[in-house]
Amino acid sequence: MKHELKLYCDTTRLSELRNFLGDILEDTSLTEVDQHQVILAVEEVCANLIIHSHDCNPKECIDLTVKKSADLMIFEIRDFGQGFNILEYQEPDISFVMKSKRKGGLGIILVKRIMDKIEFETKANINICRLFKILKSK
């Protein structure tokens, strides 16, 4: 099954994203905690794109496609903003982040820990990030 959402680049629209994902994830074998974690991971990637690649320009958008099978979910996020390869991201030293009381910088670590696989590609001027979550049988 395939679900699609066009998300305009305004952080106030992130609640739309959470509702969209919540409705899809409700009908999976994921626990409620796992569902919330997946929503958090997808939201983190989308929020980073909205803020850093699109400067919160509500005239621009990103596209999310969710493909769901019996044992796997794929969240494909496409945008036309400045590219960011999540796979090349260097994780900060968490103890340094805590000592410096710096805000931000930990979301990508969460995404990598929550999702089972991440792919990133750029085709022409389109950036594509795929997040994979394996589903356990009910």
Quick one: average pLDDT of 7-25? 96
Quick one: average pLDDT of 98-121? 74
pLDDT reported for residue 75: 98
Give dist(CA 27, CA 11) in Å, integer. 26
Give dist(CA 74, CA 1) in Å, integer. 11
Q: Which CATH architecture is the domain 2-134 placed in?
A: 2-Layer Sandwich (3.30)
Give dist(CA 20, CA 69) in Å, integer. 17
Q: What percent of the chain has pLDDT over 90?
A: 60
Closest CA to 74 of 125, 35, 129, 124: 129
Closest CA to 59 of 94, 100, 13, 124: 13
b/e burial code for range 6-23 (CB count within 10 A of at least 16 → b) = ebbbbeebeeebeebbee
At residue 118, does pLDDT exceed 70? yes
At residue 52, does pLDDT exceed 80? yes
Closest CA to 84 of 102, 62, 57, 115: 62
pLDDT in tens, 59-98: 999 999 999 998 999 999 999 876 665 556 565 555 555 4
pTM recorded for the entire structure: 0.84
At residue 101, does pLDDT exceed 60? no
pLDDT reported for residue 102: 47
